[in-house]
Amino acid sequence: MNKRRLLNVIASLALCVLAFSCQNKENTNVTEEETVVKEEATSVEPAADTTVSEALKNGFVVVTDVVPDAILEIRYFSTFNFMGVRVDGYNAPIAYLTKEAADSLKAVSDDVKAMGYRLKIYDAYRPQCAVDHFVRWSQEAADTLMKRYFYPDIDKPRLFEEGYIAKKSRHTCGSTIDLTLFDMNTEKEVDMGSPFDWLGEESHPDYPGVTPEQHKNRMILRDAMVRHGFRGISTEWWHFVLKNEPYPNTYFTFPIE
């Protein structure tokens, strides 16, 4: 099967989101990037533990309370992700963000709705225990269950070495989101040229191998996000961070439930 056809097959499989199993840990502080992103995190200091109820009283919100038109497909609550299991800390298919990020996302939603789209969210706030789960998985060389679907061109041991998996993620700071566009006319996800969490150069926003239509779709999403205060990254078309995030140096631990 050639790569373009495989990408199309995976995009179709993404419609079948699945199963369950999780846990909990503790807060840490940080400075830079990302899980499934080629950026390094610096050393961190412990922060105070936070429960879900405390987080909701102190600056976090349920995204769909602020953006009711958003569609949720929380991939790490399912088994259709690069590990093939439900990820620690994802006890419910809910998306949390800081209020500032959610308010900006509402502006994005209103913007793209006028163009005939809704936002479809794959991931938002991510607890630190989930990132720890990614790291443990990356060290289990024999577990390649989902390799053909998410990282066929990369040997698993290289995922951590090349920065696709890291010990810290901006998602854990609460103002980062992974998302795509949903076409209200076709009632399908917009074709972005690679599926969410595809670990390879095809996911780079400016990858030259996508079609003009796929590139245009990526730019519609990126332009709308940038207009309303987010910034993208060079390795993932779906990933955006609020520029003025309120907790840039705090990594939260409360589970998603």
Q: Which residues are marked as active site? A: 236
DSSP 8-class letter at 201 = G
Q: Report angle CA 101, 226, 56 to the nearest 5 degrees.
A: 5
Q: What's the rounded Cα separation, in Å, for the pair 95 and 72?
A: 8
Q: What's the rounded Cα separation, in Å, for the pair 35 and 41?
A: 10
Of the candidates 9, 39, 1, which has an alpha carbon nearest to the alpha carbon of residue 194? 9
Q: What's the rounded Cα separation, in Å, for the pair 34 and 162?
A: 12
Residue 225, classed as helix, strand or coil, is helix
Of the candidates 132, 104, 52, 65, which has an alpha carbon nearest to the alpha carbon of residue 245? 104
